[in-house]
Amino acid sequence: MNWLAVLLGSVSHANWPDEETVIRLFTLQDYNTRVVLLGVTALGLASGIIGSFMILRKRALLSDSIAHATLPGICITFLILSAMDINSKNFFFLLFGAGLSGIISILCVQFLRAYTKLKEDAVLGIILSSFFGFGVVLMGFVQQHPKGNAAGIDGYIFGKTASIQAHDAQMLMINAILICIMSLLLFKEFRLICFDSCFAATQGWPVLKLDILLMGLVVIVTVIGLQAVGIVLVISLLIIPPAAARFWTDRLFYQVLIAGVLGAASGFFGAAITALFERLPAGATIVLVSATCFFVSMVLGSKRGMLMKFLKKRELDHQVLEQNLLRAFYELHEDDEGNLIPNKGARLNDLLIMRSWLENEVQAGIRILTRKGLVTKDANHNFVLTELGGIHATRIVRNHRLWEIYLITHADVATGRVDRVTDKIEHILGDKLVARLEHIVAEDYPHLHVPASPHPISGGKI
């Protein structure tokens, strides 16, 4: 446990900020803090919004390729500016070179996809590794250049959030506004090519142009984000917030909105943490905050979260157990005409032999039915269906047998297997589907109270 002691000791000796510092930070009283926080918040907002479309378009790796492909453009631009004796630190020239390199990488991807039989993931891997490898080689020349260290090229790889200036923040905010406007204006078109590009092409939509426009917006976000989090980590802001948003909703508009909020929150709180604690790398902290949002969403997400899935599965398991027990009660006490004999009790062993149930499973199901007022005990301590329980059991058996009859007469399922097939779907039959089954089966079974079982019952099990 030495490692735990070391960890706790490091935490206890950390320089924790006082209350006044925290208040000044979150009220944006300091100019430099205000510039940095607003800049990275705008970057997170833009990345989350445009990244949502890239995730649905299955182009997440393309964003990574674009990010890595900007490195050779930055290095080449620096070397050209140095050779022309122009200020090699010029931020706009370096971003222009990065953007041009990113666009060239997109054109290379499109060329290889169109004229080779390589799959898209292989093409993206080739472009990513080739461009980044070329950039690393050029970095060697940059570092040997007399002005290489002064240029701060390393900052574009790992990010230099603290060095964001007012004009950088303005550019990030303008970029965020542009992304929001374009996403709203082209929301229908982007949604169409993300979900069914083939259908969009058959309807005459310019799929290729829309695709290039979407990737162009990704290039803009990626290039402008280099100053904040760097080449290596900018991809995380394009992927993690949209992926986290999918745990909360199935609607694209709300997913884009949530992704933008999560991206903005990741940028804001990540930069805020680095402002409160010294020597923390800002880009990596922003990514860790974003990753934390992802894991929280993965667990607590209201649509696809692990907790929600667990609760829904448990609810369905209880529902299946309840319905199977009610069906077992009914078939234990069913007369020759398919009617339930009322007020007839059943012992625990009677229920156990109906299916391959465990005793504690049946007891748990009976407790649930008892709480719902569907089962009670008689004077002999046998389990008896209440009047309400009889109504529910009759409905369940009726729907089950309607589905069985349909499978036998219209789906050619063998009578010996129909019960097992029915069990997989009968618990989720809706009223509309039951009504359709009644209509289909009505000719063969005109009296649809509870049809007799259409398959043999053997061995005392249903």
Which CATH number covers residue 36? 1.10.3470.10
Q: Based on the domain organization, do 155 and 192 belong to the same domain?
A: yes
Q: Has residue 259 got a pLDDT over 90?
A: yes
**111-130: string of b/e by CB count within 10 Å (b at 16+)?**
ebeeeeeeeeeebbebbbeb
Q: How far is 214 from 227, CA to CA, in rounded Å?
A: 22
Q: Based on the domain organization, do 283 and 421 belong to the same domain?
A: no
Q: CA dist 217 to 7, 33, 99, 176, 224, Å?
A: 43, 27, 11, 11, 11
Report which of residues 131 and 283 the model is more confident about. Answer: 131
Q: How far is 22 from 56, CA to CA, in rounded Å?
A: 38
pLDDT tens digits for range 373-395: 888 888 778 888 888 888 888 88
26 half-sphere exposure, CB direction, 13 A CA radius: 10
Q: Based on the domain organization, do 73 and 172 belong to the same domain?
A: yes
Residues 6+ apart with CB under 8 A from 4: none
Domain membership flag for residue 457: no
Share of the chain above pLDDT 70, in %: 79
Residues 6+ apart with CB under 8 A from 66: 102, 105, 106, 215, 218, 219, 222
Q: Has residue 89 got a pLDDT over 70?
A: no
**Domain at 349, CATH number:** 1.10.10.10
Averaged pLDDT for residues 126-135:
85
The residue assigned the tokens 């609810």 is 315
pLDDT tens digits for range 51-82: 888 888 877 777 777 777 888 888 888 888 87
pLDDT of residue 154: 64
Which structural domain, as residue segments, surrounds residue 408? 310-441
53 half-sphere exposure, CB direction, 13 A CA radius: 28
Of 303, 335, 359, the position where a domain reaches its end is 303
Domain membership flag for residue 377: yes
Which pair of structure tokens corresponds to residue 164? 């964001």
Q: Based on the domain organization, do 155 and 282 belong to the same domain?
A: yes
Averaged pLDDT for residues 226-242:
78
Q: CA dist 265 to 18, 162, 277, 290, 291, Å?
A: 22, 17, 18, 8, 12
The residue assigned the tokens 């009283």 is 29
pLDDT of residue 299: 92
If DSSP states are collapsed to H, E and C, what string results for the chain? CHHHHHHHHHHHCCCCCCHHHHHHHHCCCCHHHHHHHHHHHHHHHHHHHHHHHHHHCCCHHHHHHHHHHHHHHHHHHHHHHHHCCCCCCCHHHHHHHHHHHHHHHHHHHHHHHHHCCCCHHHHHHHHHHHHHHHHHHHHHHHHHCCCHHHHCCHHHHHCCHHHCCHHHHHHHHHHHHHHHHHHHHCHHHHHHHHHCHHHHHHCCCCHHHHHHHHHHHHHHHHHHHHHHHHHHHHHHHHHHHHHHHCCCCCCHHHHHHHHHHHHHHHHHHHHHHHHHCCCCCHHHHHHHHHHHHHHHHHHHCCCCCHHHHHHHHHHHHHHHHHHHHHHHHHHHCECCCCCECCCCCECHHHHHCCCCCCHHHHHHHHHHHHHCCCEEECCCCCEEECHHHHHHHHHHHHHHHHHHHHHHHHCCCCCCCHHHHHHCCHHHCCHHHHHHHHHHHCCCCCCCCCCCCCCCCECCEC
Which pair of structure tokens corresponds to residue 183? 């996403």
pLDDT of residue 396: 82
The residue assigned the tokens 């448990």 is 314
Q: Based on the domain organization, do 296 and 320 belong to the same domain?
A: no
Domain membership flag for residue 338: yes
Exposed (0-12), middle (13-18) or buried (19+): which is 170, by Cβ within 10 Å?
Answer: middle
pLDDT of residue 366: 87
**pTM exceeds 0.85 for this model:** no
Averaged pLDDT for residues 119-145:
81
- The single-letter code of the amino acid at 355 is R
Q: How far is 154 from 144, CA to CA, in rounded Å?
A: 13
Report which of residues 261 and 207 the model is more confident about. Answer: 261
Averaged pLDDT for residues 4-20:
57
Q: Based on the domain organization, do 283 and 386 belong to the same domain?
A: no
Domain membership flag for residue 204: yes
Q: Has residue 316 got a pLDDT over 90?
A: no
Total residue length of the chain: 462
Torsion of CA 112, 118, 123, 125, to 10 degrees: -160
Range among 224-238, 272-286, 298-312, 438-452 rated most confident: 298-312
pLDDT tens digits for range 134-182: 888 888 777 776 655 545 666 666 667 767 777 778 888 888 898 889 8
Q: Based on the domain organization, do 170 and 280 belong to the same domain?
A: yes
Taking the mean position of all CA atoms in its chain, how far away is CA 35? 32
Q: Based on the domain organization, do 289 and 406 belong to the same domain?
A: no
Report which of residues 400 and 426 the model is more confident about. Answer: 400
Domain membership flag for residue 165: yes
Q: Based on the domain organization, do 144 and 176 belong to the same domain?
A: yes
Q: Based on the domain organization, do 335 and 285 belong to the same domain?
A: no
Please check whether residue 65 is in contact with residue 127, taking contact to mean a CB–CB distance below 8 angstroms.
Answer: yes
Q: How far is 318 from 168, CA to CA, in rounded Å?
A: 57
Q: Based on the domain organization, do 181 and 103 belong to the same domain?
A: yes
How many folded domains does the chain comprise? 2
Q: How far is 278 from 274, CA to CA, in rounded Å?
A: 6
Q: Based on the domain organization, do 269 and 122 belong to the same domain?
A: yes
Q: How far is 373 from 250, CA to CA, in rounded Å?
A: 36
Domain membership flag for residue 451: no
pLDDT of residue 454: 46
pLDDT of residue 449: 54
Q: How far is 324 from 423, CA to CA, in rounded Å?
A: 9
Residues 6+ apart with CB under 8 A from 275: 25, 33, 36, 37
Per the prediction, the chain carries an average pLDDT of: 78
pLDDT category of residue 456 using cuts at 50, 70 and 90: very low
